[in-house]
Chain A
Amino acid sequence: AQSVTQLDSQVPVFEEAPVELRCNYSSSVSVYLFWYVQYPNQGLQLLLKYLSGSTLVKGINGFEAEFNKSQTSFHLRKPSVHISDTAEYFCAVSDLKYGNKLVFGAGTILRVKS
Chain B
Amino acid sequence: DTAVSQTPKYLVTQMGNDKSIKCEQNLGHDTMYWYKQDSKKFLKIMFSYNNKELIINETVPNRFSPKSPDKAHLNLHINSLELGDSAVYFCASSHWGAKETQYFGPGTRLLVL
Q: How large is the interface on B (under 10, 10 to 19, 20 to 34, 35 or more residues)?
A: 20 to 34
Q: Contact string, B94-113, partner A, CB cutoff 8 A, digits 1/0?
A: 10111111111111000000
For residue B50, which residue of chain A has the nearest CB? A100
Number of A-B contacts (CB under 8 A): 65
Q: How far is the CA of A65 from the CA of B48 in the complex (A)?
A: 28
Stretch at the interface among B14-22, B35-43, B62-70, B75-83: B35-43
Which residues on the A side are within 8 Å of B48 (C-beta)? 100-101
Q: How large is the interface on A (under 10, 10 to 19, 20 to 34, 35 or more residues)?
A: 20 to 34
| B42-80 at interface with A (beta carbon < 8 Å) | 42-45, 48, 50, 55-56
For residue B58, which residue of chain A has the nearest CB? A101
For residue A45, which residue of chain B has the nearest CB? B104
CB-based contact A100/B43 at 8 Å? no
CB-based contact B90/A100 at 8 Å? no
Q: A32-B98, A99-B98 are in contact. List 5 more A-B contacts (CB 8 A).
A: A43-B104, A44-B104, A46-B102, A99-B55, A106-B42
